[in-house]
Amino acid sequence: MRKRKYKKYNQGIFTPKNKDKFIGTKAFYRSGLELKFMCFCDNNPNVLKWGSENVIIPYFLPTDKKMHRYYVDNFVIIKEGSQISKYLIEIKPLKQTRPPKESKRRNPQHLLYEKAMYAKNQAKWAAARSFCKKHKLKFLILTENDLKP
């Protein structure tokens, strides 16, 4: 695990211990939540295979009326009892999964940015749900509440 220096967020490259389970060449984590999930995938015997940002989904962003590419945080194959399930996993702080709240005290530019990011996330997730339905996968958004020890 290598960390980048002088960054506001916990970011770096995760080095899996169980390399046979990892799909891809490098696992970049962009938050402490993503690092926690990667450790879970690497150490959990029920996780058969996993990858980081190896599934790319095209999506249309209504705010700029252009197509973009969504790199889903993780692809995971998990043994659940006698079944094998395949998931696309997005990891976000809970706050980013909910519409931003307006307040008189809030900086209007920051609120505008949060609204734009919320709209972007909604467009990404709609495309991911459609992709998953078409490819018989499950799409999950995990937050800090889901990744508690």
Candidate list 21, 34, 90, 124, residue with the active-site label: 34
Domain boundaries, the chain: 2-142
Residue 28 has pLDDT above 80, yes or no: yes
pLDDT at 7: 54
Residue listed under structure tokens 């967020």: 9
Reported pTM: 0.86
Which CATH architecture fits 2-142? 3-Layer(aba) Sandwich (3.40)
DSSP type of residue 140: E
Q: Is the dihedral of CA 42, 43, 47, 49 positive or negative?
A: positive
Residue 2 has pLDDT above 90, yes or no: no
Candidate list 42, 73, 90, 114, residue with the active-site label: 73
pLDDT at 6: 46
**Catalytic (active site) residue 34:** yes
pLDDT digits (tens, 9 = 90+) for 100-139: 988 777 788 888 899 999 999 999 999 999 999 999 999 9
pLDDT at 102: 82
What confidence category does residue 12 fall into, taking pLDDT thresholds of 50, 70 and 90?
very high
pLDDT at 98: 94
The terminus-to-terminus CA distance of the chain in angstroms comes to 20
What HEC string does 8-52 produce? CCCCEEECCCCCCCEECCCEEECCHHHHHHHHHHHHCCCEEEEEE
**Catalytic (active site) residue 73:** yes
Q: Which two tokens stand for residue 7?
A: 């960054």
pLDDT digits (tens, 9 = 90+) for 102-113: 877 778 888 889
Candidate list 36, 49, 86, 92, residue with the active-site label: 92
pLDDT at 107: 82
